[in-house]
């Protein structure tokens, strides 16, 4: 032991705190925190105790299958360089669980400090994001990913989700605080995080929040013994479910409601005597209106040139780069694509069009789930009409799924090797002539498929078993933070390669280690 136990313990907590606070912000600072944990663990001694803890922790040995499954897959990889890169990326899943399992368990007070620090860091991240939102509110368009400036907006949404359930866990903890003001602050913060998910327009985050919340609420309702209360809550929950289904159905119906026009009496010239162009065979719609009718290109060109004189700060592209966006935006407002229609655009419209915002929907609905649903429905409709895939997150995921599954079928039991998954997908995209631009050639966007491509069916079985068995073996199914965390991770893995970024894999490694190996939720380990 280099220092006293108290100093090593302080460094241990400091390393964890630094890692947790860095998750929403900085991969570099996160690495510093993890290195601090590892170096402190190497220097603090107690090797006999560590060995005995490691040997007796059967659940830890099972969890390490998650890492070693990928490790074994590297032995038959032809791209050893990429395999080593993957193994280095997944290293937190090996080191952090070992460190926390072989170190004295977290005390109740230590856990609370760490959780509060994490929620505070996420809150600060959301406030910074809110400042961007307020700054660009008037011209906010359909791309809201920049609202998470430091890390992926999807991974930040996962952290926001976990923070919500951590706050409710702290709220109901006995002895945490008897102050009404503190409890009110926790409730308000949780409400803010829910609101923020809708500002972020993260479909993944909102869907995960809904699924996990419904699961925990049903679990709580079933534990109640008063039949009247139980029945009332079931009715309320059913009503909320029907309301959500009704909203979704209404949104779909509204999107596919078309404003019909008589194609036989379309105007031939504008008010200035310029000829219109009508493509009546093109079935593209925007906000229920036909896009490619009532178009006068010369007047649009002249209008954009004049607008560049009035709004020089809002326009930094020439007309040809925004032409299609301009036509779609005017269509979404129900305007003709001529000088009269152009004259009804204001500076905010011009700025949105210049930023590649194609519909007034994104101006009218700057927050909430509706603009994101509209975008998804438009992508589906565009694919059905023109077969366009690129730029559509939904349709691209379908292509990724089909491509991954094709590779899996050819290498079902053992996969192609840890380092060859990306190469195999890129080769498939190239040889199959998939209708997808090369800049969209990505991994599966499904962690289970990505694992199966690399290490096959047997590897996936070991991966899932290693991930789930410790939760059951350690009897963590009764703990709300544990259930919420694992549900968030598992659900995210259906739509994302959660383990394929440093932030994502470290998020899982740190919280899995804390909740499953680092703290006993059934016994108070002290203050």
DSSP state of 163: H
Confidence check: pLDDT of 120 > 50: yes
Q: For residue 397, what are the CA distances in angstroms to 36, 393, 501?
A: 38, 6, 18
Q: For residue 481, what are the CA distances in angstroms to 12, 286, 460, 476, 492?
A: 22, 43, 25, 9, 16
Q: pLDDT tens, 178-211? A: 778 888 999 999 999 999 998 888 888 999 999 9
Q: Which of 138-147, 173-182, 303-312, 487-496 is the most confident on average? A: 487-496
Q: What is the pTM of this model?
A: 0.90
Q: Give the separation between CA 57 and CA 51, rounded to whole angstroms.
A: 10
Q: Give the count of beta carbons closer than 10 Å to the beta carbon of residue 248.
A: 12
Better pLDDT: 487 or 147: 487
Sign of CA dihedral 325, 385, 382, 345: positive
Q: For residue 360, what are the CA distances in angstroms to 256, 314, 366, 367?
A: 17, 17, 10, 13
- Residue 275's φ and ψ, nearest 5 degrees, are -75, 140
CB 417 within 8 A of CB 76: yes
Angle at which helix 203-223 crosses helix 370-386, to 10 degrees, equals 120
513: which 2 tokens? 């280690």
The torsion defined by the Cα of 129, 133, 134 and 135, in degrees rounded to 10, comes to: 100
> What pLDDT score does 137 carry?
67
CB 119 within 8 A of CB 105: no
Q: Give the separation between CA 117 and CA 133, rounded to whole angstroms.
A: 24
Q: Give the separation between CA 446 and CA 377, rounded to whole angstroms.
A: 21
Q: Which of 97-101, 136-140, 226-230 is the most confident on average? A: 97-101
For 48, what's the count of Cα atoms within 13 Å in the CB-facing half-sphere? 0
Percent of the chain whose pLDDT exceeds 70: 96
The CA-CA-CA angle for residues 179, 183, 184, to 5°, reads: 110
């Amino acid at each position: 032991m280099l220092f006293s136990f108290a100093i090593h313990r302080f460094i241990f907590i400091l390393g964890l705190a630094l890692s947790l606070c860095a998750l929403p912000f900085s991969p570099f600072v996160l690495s510093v925190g993890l290195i601090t944990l590892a170096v402190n663990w190497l220097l603090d001694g107690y090797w006999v105790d560590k060995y005995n803890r490691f040997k007796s922790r059967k659940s830890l040995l099972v969890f390490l299958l998650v890492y070693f499954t990928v490790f074994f897959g590297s032995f038959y990889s032809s791209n050893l360089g990429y395999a080593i890169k993957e193994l280095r990326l997944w290293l937190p899943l090996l080191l952090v669980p070992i460190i926390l399992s072989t170190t004295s368990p977290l005390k109740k007070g230590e856990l609370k400090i760490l959780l509060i620090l994490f929620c505070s860091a996420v809150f600060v991240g959301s406030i910074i994001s809110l400042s961007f939102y307020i700054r660009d509110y008037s011209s906010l368009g359909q791309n809201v990913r920049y609202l998470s400036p430091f890390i992926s907006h999807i991974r930040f949404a996962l952290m926001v989700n976990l923070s919500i359930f951590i706050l409710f866990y702290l709220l109901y903890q006995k002895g945490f605080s008897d102050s009404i003001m503190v409890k009110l602050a926790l409730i308000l913060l949780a409400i803010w995080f829910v609101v923020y998910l809708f500002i972020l327009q993260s479909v993944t985050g909102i869907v995960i929040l809904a699924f996990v919340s419904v699961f925990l609420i049903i679990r709580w309702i079933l534990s109640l013994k008063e039949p009247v209360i139980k029945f009332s809550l079931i009715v309320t929950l059913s009503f909320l479910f029907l309301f959500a289904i009704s909203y979704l159905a209404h949104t779909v119906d509204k999107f596919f409601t078309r404003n019909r026009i008589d194609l036989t009496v379309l105007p031939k010239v504008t008010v200035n005597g310029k000829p219109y162009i009508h493509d009546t065979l093109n079935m593209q719609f925007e906000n229920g209106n036909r896009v490619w009718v009532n178009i006068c290109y010369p007047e649009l060109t002249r209008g954009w040139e004049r607008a560049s004189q009035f709004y020089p700060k809002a326009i930094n592209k020439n007309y040809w780069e925004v032409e299609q966006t301009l036509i779609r935006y005017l269509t979404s407002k129900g305007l003709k694509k001529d000088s009269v229609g152009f004259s009804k655009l204001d500076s905010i419209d011009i700025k949105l069009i210049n930023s590649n915002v194609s519909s007034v929907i994104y101006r009218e609905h700057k927050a909430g789930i509706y603009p994101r649903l509209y975008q998804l429905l438009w992508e589906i409709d565009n694919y059905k009409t023109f077969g366009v895939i690129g730029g559509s997150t939904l349709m691209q995921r379908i292509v990724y799924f089909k491509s991954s599954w094709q590779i899996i079928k050819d290498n079902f039991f053992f996969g192609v090797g840890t380092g060859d998954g990306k190469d195999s997908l890129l080769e498939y995209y190239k040889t199959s002539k998939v209708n997808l631009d090369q800049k969209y050639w990505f991994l599966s966007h499904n962690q289970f498929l990505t694992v199966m491509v690399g290490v096959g069916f047997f590897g996936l079985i070991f991966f899932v078993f290693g991930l789930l068995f410790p939760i059951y073996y350690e009897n963590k199914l009764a703990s709300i933070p544990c259930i919420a965390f694992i549900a968030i991770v598992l659900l995210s893995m259906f739509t994302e390669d959660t383990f394929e970024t440093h932030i994502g894999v470290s998020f899982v490694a740190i919280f899995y280690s804390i909740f499953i190996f680092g703290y006993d939720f059934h016994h108070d380990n002290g203050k």
